[in-house]
A = this chain, B = another copy of it.
Amino acid sequence: MSLSREQVLGHALAILDQYGFADLSMRRLATSLGVQPGALYWHFANKQTLLTAVAEAILSPRPPVCVPTGSAGTGSAPTAWEPAVRTWACGLREALLSHRDGAEVVASVLAVRPATLDPAGEIAAVLMAHAMAAAQARAAGMALLHFVIGHTVDEQGNAAMAEFGVAQAVDTEAQERFAAGLDLFVAGLGVRLSGGGG
Protein backbone atom coordinates (compact mmCIF):
# COMPACT_ATOMS: atom_id res chain seq x y z
CA MET A 1 0.00 0.00 0.00
CA SER A 2 1.24 3.48 -0.76
CA LEU A 3 1.95 6.32 1.60
CA SER A 4 -0.84 8.68 2.57
CA ARG A 5 -0.73 12.32 3.62
CA GLU A 6 -2.08 11.28 7.02
CA GLN A 7 0.68 8.73 7.49
CA VAL A 8 3.36 11.29 6.73
CA LEU A 9 1.71 13.81 9.05
CA GLY A 10 1.43 11.24 11.83
CA HIS A 11 5.08 10.30 11.64
CA ALA A 12 6.02 13.98 11.58
CA LEU A 13 4.14 14.53 14.85
CA ALA A 14 5.78 11.41 16.31
CA ILE A 15 9.28 12.68 15.48
CA LEU A 16 8.34 16.08 16.89
CA ASP A 17 7.17 14.57 20.19
CA GLN A 18 10.12 12.21 20.58
CA TYR A 19 13.04 14.27 19.28
CA GLY A 20 11.90 17.89 18.99
CA PHE A 21 11.58 20.49 16.23
CA ALA A 22 15.30 20.60 15.41
CA ASP A 23 15.27 16.91 14.49
CA LEU A 24 12.16 17.12 12.32
CA SER A 25 13.87 17.00 8.91
CA MET A 26 12.51 15.70 5.65
CA ARG A 27 15.29 13.11 5.46
CA ARG A 28 14.70 11.83 8.97
CA LEU A 29 10.97 11.71 8.32
CA ALA A 30 11.58 9.71 5.13
CA THR A 31 13.80 7.26 7.02
CA SER A 32 11.15 6.80 9.70
CA LEU A 33 8.66 5.96 6.93
CA GLY A 34 11.07 3.56 5.22
CA VAL A 35 11.13 5.64 2.08
CA GLN A 36 13.48 7.83 0.04
CA PRO A 37 13.50 11.60 0.82
CA GLY A 38 12.16 12.48 -2.61
CA ALA A 39 9.03 10.40 -2.01
CA LEU A 40 7.73 12.97 0.49
CA TYR A 41 7.51 15.59 -2.24
CA TRP A 42 4.75 13.66 -3.90
CA HIS A 43 2.53 14.23 -0.85
CA PHE A 44 3.70 17.67 0.26
CA ALA A 45 5.00 20.36 -2.08
CA ASN A 46 7.79 21.27 0.36
CA LYS A 47 8.74 21.31 4.04
CA GLN A 48 6.81 24.51 4.66
CA THR A 49 3.56 22.89 3.52
CA LEU A 50 4.25 19.91 5.77
CA LEU A 51 4.95 22.17 8.74
CA THR A 52 1.74 24.08 8.11
CA ALA A 53 -0.18 20.79 8.28
CA VAL A 54 1.65 19.94 11.52
CA ALA A 55 0.72 23.32 13.00
CA GLU A 56 -2.91 22.82 11.99
CA ALA A 57 -2.87 19.41 13.65
CA ILE A 58 -1.52 20.98 16.84
CA LEU A 59 -4.13 23.76 16.90
CA SER A 60 -7.20 21.92 15.62
CA PRO A 61 -8.11 20.06 18.88
CA ARG A 62 -9.13 23.38 20.43
CA PRO A 63 -12.85 24.05 20.83
CA PRO A 64 -14.23 26.95 18.75
CA VAL A 65 -14.59 30.24 20.59
CA CYS A 66 -18.13 31.13 21.55
CA VAL A 67 -19.00 34.28 19.62
CA PRO A 68 -22.08 35.98 21.04
CA THR A 69 -25.01 36.09 18.64
CA GLY A 70 -26.95 39.00 20.14
CA SER A 71 -27.33 42.13 18.00
CA ALA A 72 -25.47 45.31 18.92
CA GLY A 73 -28.41 47.32 20.23
CA THR A 74 -29.81 44.91 22.79
CA GLY A 75 -27.71 46.09 25.73
CA SER A 76 -25.17 43.73 27.32
CA ALA A 77 -24.24 40.73 25.17
CA PRO A 78 -25.35 37.20 26.06
CA THR A 79 -21.83 35.78 26.48
CA ALA A 80 -19.28 37.62 28.60
CA TRP A 81 -16.04 38.62 26.86
CA GLU A 82 -13.78 37.96 29.83
CA PRO A 83 -14.25 34.19 30.19
CA ALA A 84 -14.11 33.92 26.39
CA VAL A 85 -10.72 35.65 26.30
CA ARG A 86 -9.40 33.58 29.20
CA THR A 87 -10.65 30.30 27.74
CA TRP A 88 -9.21 31.10 24.33
CA ALA A 89 -5.78 32.01 25.75
CA CYS A 90 -5.61 28.99 28.06
CA GLY A 91 -6.85 26.67 25.33
CA LEU A 92 -4.25 27.94 22.92
CA ARG A 93 -1.46 27.48 25.45
CA GLU A 94 -2.62 23.96 26.27
CA ALA A 95 -2.74 23.01 22.59
CA LEU A 96 0.82 24.29 22.15
CA LEU A 97 2.01 22.45 25.26
CA SER A 98 0.44 19.18 24.10
CA HIS A 99 3.31 18.56 21.66
CA ARG A 100 7.03 18.99 22.22
CA ASP A 101 8.16 22.36 20.79
CA GLY A 102 4.56 22.97 19.72
CA ALA A 103 4.82 26.73 20.29
CA GLU A 104 8.00 26.99 18.23
CA VAL A 105 6.43 25.05 15.35
CA VAL A 106 3.28 27.17 15.33
CA ALA A 107 5.31 30.39 15.63
CA SER A 108 7.43 29.43 12.63
CA VAL A 109 4.32 28.59 10.59
CA LEU A 110 2.38 31.73 11.53
CA ALA A 111 5.40 33.78 10.45
CA VAL A 112 4.58 32.97 6.82
CA ARG A 113 0.87 33.88 7.15
CA PRO A 114 -0.95 30.78 5.96
CA ALA A 115 -4.49 31.64 4.88
CA THR A 116 -5.91 28.65 6.79
CA LEU A 117 -4.55 29.64 10.19
CA ASP A 118 -5.64 32.77 12.05
CA PRO A 119 -5.95 32.25 15.82
CA ALA A 120 -5.97 36.02 16.43
CA GLY A 121 -9.05 36.33 14.25
CA GLU A 122 -10.97 33.95 16.52
CA ILE A 123 -10.65 36.14 19.57
CA ALA A 124 -10.89 39.39 17.60
CA ALA A 125 -14.36 38.23 16.48
CA VAL A 126 -15.43 37.96 20.11
CA LEU A 127 -14.21 41.47 20.88
CA MET A 128 -15.95 42.88 17.82
CA ALA A 129 -19.17 41.19 18.91
CA HIS A 130 -18.79 43.24 22.07
CA ALA A 131 -18.78 46.46 20.08
CA MET A 132 -15.03 46.93 19.81
CA ALA A 133 -13.86 48.57 16.59
CA ALA A 134 -12.45 46.15 14.02
CA ALA A 135 -8.93 47.61 14.01
CA GLN A 136 -8.78 47.65 17.81
CA ALA A 137 -10.08 44.10 18.05
CA ARG A 138 -7.52 42.90 15.50
CA ALA A 139 -4.71 44.65 17.37
CA ALA A 140 -5.84 43.18 20.69
CA GLY A 141 -6.17 39.71 19.18
CA MET A 142 -2.68 39.80 17.73
CA ALA A 143 -1.19 41.21 20.94
CA LEU A 144 -2.83 38.35 22.86
CA LEU A 145 -1.58 35.83 20.29
CA HIS A 146 1.98 37.15 20.48
CA PHE A 147 1.85 36.98 24.26
CA VAL A 148 0.55 33.39 24.41
CA ILE A 149 2.96 32.10 21.78
CA GLY A 150 5.95 34.00 23.12
CA HIS A 151 5.22 32.83 26.63
CA THR A 152 4.77 29.21 25.61
CA VAL A 153 7.93 29.12 23.48
CA ASP A 154 9.67 30.34 26.64
CA GLU A 155 7.94 27.79 28.82
CA GLN A 156 8.80 24.88 26.53
CA GLY A 157 12.38 26.09 26.24
CA ASN A 158 12.64 25.94 30.00
CA ALA A 159 11.10 22.48 30.02
CA ALA A 160 13.76 21.31 27.56
CA MET A 161 16.49 22.56 29.90
CA ALA A 162 14.81 20.94 32.90
CA GLU A 163 15.80 17.53 31.48
CA PHE A 164 19.35 18.43 32.40
CA GLY A 165 18.27 18.80 36.02
CA VAL A 166 18.09 22.56 36.37
CA ALA A 167 14.86 22.80 38.34
CA GLN A 168 11.14 22.26 38.00
CA ALA A 169 10.09 25.18 40.17
CA VAL A 170 10.46 26.86 36.78
CA ASP A 171 7.24 25.14 35.72
CA THR A 172 5.01 26.71 38.36
CA GLU A 173 6.73 30.07 37.89
CA ALA A 174 5.90 29.95 34.18
CA GLN A 175 2.29 29.12 34.93
CA GLU A 176 2.01 32.05 37.32
CA ARG A 177 3.66 34.38 34.82
CA PHE A 178 1.11 33.30 32.23
CA ALA A 179 -1.77 33.96 34.60
CA ALA A 180 -0.38 37.37 35.54
CA GLY A 181 0.19 38.34 31.91
CA LEU A 182 -3.31 37.27 30.98
CA ASP A 183 -4.73 39.26 33.89
CA LEU A 184 -2.93 42.30 32.54
CA PHE A 185 -4.62 41.92 29.16
CA VAL A 186 -8.01 41.37 30.73
CA ALA A 187 -7.54 44.48 32.84
CA GLY A 188 -6.63 46.50 29.78
CA LEU A 189 -9.57 45.17 27.79
CA GLY A 190 -11.82 45.92 30.73
CA VAL A 191 -10.99 49.61 30.51
CA ARG A 192 -12.33 49.64 26.94
CA LEU A 193 -15.14 47.12 27.04
CA SER A 194 -16.73 47.36 30.47
CA GLY A 195 -16.35 51.10 30.86
CA GLY A 196 -17.88 52.87 27.86
CA GLY A 197 -20.00 50.04 26.51
CA GLY A 198 -20.82 50.53 22.82
Contacts and interface: CB of A to CB of B under 8 A. Distances in A.
**Of A112, A183, A188, most B-chain CB atoms within 10 Å:** A188
Given A150-B149, A191-B190, A143 B184 contact: yes
Contacts of A143: 147, 151, 180-181, 184-185
User: Contact residue range for chain A?
Assistant: 35 or more
A189 B180 contact: no
B180 A187 contact: no
Contact of A157 (B112, B150, B190): B112
A150 B145 contact: yes
18 contacts: A104-B111, A111-B153, A111-B154, A113-B157, A135-B176, A135-B177, A136-B180, A139-B184, A140-B180, A140-B184, A143-B180, A143-B184, A146-B146, A146-B147, A150-B150, A183-B188, A185-B188, A188-B188
